[in-house]
Amino acid sequence: MTDRPVLWITRRLSDATLERAARDYEVILDSDDRPRGPEEIVEMSRRVDAILPCHSEVFSADVVARLDDRVKIIANHSVGVDHCDLAALKARGIVVTNTPDVLSDATAEIAMLLMLGAARRAVEGDRLVRTGAWDFWSPSFMVGKQVSGARLGIVGMGRVGRAMAARARGFGMEIHYHNRRRLPPEQEQGATFHESLDSLLPVSDFLSLHCPATPQTTGMMNAARFARLPRGAVFVNTARGALVDEEALLAAIESGQLAAAGLDCFVTEPGGNPTFAAHENIFMLPHIGSATTATRDAMGFRALDNLDAFFAGKTPKDML
């Protein structure tokens, strides 16, 4: 017998995370790495004191209402918590934490990759070389959009947005941003603040989303908003697919209002949007913004830090 807390880890995390978890907790980890549905979550709640889920496990109000009283904490392996009904969990007295800070650099790297790849026609160029179809060159061949010196609009100037801005400054980009509140000068670093998204859009040669998905932001990039961007702008999303009206995005691509888009997240995940595949000026990745070894270790350890604090009778650092 053991008096260690029983922890259910819903997905395959990094080896270092699993090793540490096994040292301090009675861990339940299934060998198959797949999303867990509502019935599995409810059933498992009868056996565990804590759950360490990913964004793939949805804690809706219905699921939360059926959770066993044994579960005391949900320590998310993610920054975003739009898969959790926070009000319902709070009403049940279940603590919820996330893993901020540690994935900002990795996600900003992917945003830069998508921005550069979309602007410089990476999908099309890769196909030409890979298929042996590259048999021509001229000064008009594969001309793309230059990033250096362009204006970058950032929506959401939190940790990831600021990391993105720092990298973009290395390309000599002019930084504009919209945020719930203006940053202090030491964080703003010369960036231009816009009180409204509609003010930001017309000056954004490139637009990059770094805000959470909430009822207020869901679908915010719609047809009217894409139309406010300069014609030929490049759109990047490494935040959440729910922020974007995908039909409006596709229409903006097809009309030329957007020159290109770089996407790491989609309304439907996994899978993405199959209608995007016909457009080589949409550069897509399968939601891998934080997928580096160092970041996965850091995310797992941050979740375990929150669990350790909770079971030691302290307030977890990242309690929401």
Residue 194 appears among annotated catalytic residues: no
Classify each residue of 259-270 as buried b or exposed e, where b means 16 or more C-beta atoms within 10 Å of its C-beta.
bbbbbbbbbeee
List the catalytic residue out of 240, 246, 296, 302. 240
**CA-to-CA separations, 170 to 23, 58, 182, 206, 299, in angstroms, rounded:** 43, 38, 22, 15, 27
Residue with tokens 């949409």: 282
Active-site position among 83, 269, 279, 280: 269
* Residue 19 bears catalytic tag: no
Backbone angles phi, psi at 15, to 5 degrees: -60, -40
H or E segment and range at residue 41: helix 38-44
Look at residues 179, 176, 272 and name the one whose alpha carbon lies nearest to residue 230. Answer: 176
The pair of three-digit structure tokens given for residue 148, joined into one six-digit string: 């250096």
- Which residues lie below 8 Å from residue 298, measured CB to CB, with a gap of 6+? 99, 102, 103
DSSP element (H, E) containing 260? strand 258-263
**What is the full DSSP assignment across 155-200?**
E--SHHHHHHHHHHHTTTPEEEEE-SSPPPHHHHTTPEEESSHHHH
Tokens of 179: 């945020």
Distance CA 281, CA 277 (A): 9
The DSSP code for 230 is P
């300069």: which residue's tokens?
230
d(CA 79, CA 117): 25
Can 287 be counted among the known catalytic residues? Answer: yes
Q: Which among 36, 287, 296, 302 is annotated as catalytic?
A: 287
Spell out where 29-172 has E strands.
Answer: 50-52, 73-75, 95-97, 151-155
Question: Among all residues, which ones are annotated catalytic?
Answer: 240, 269, 287
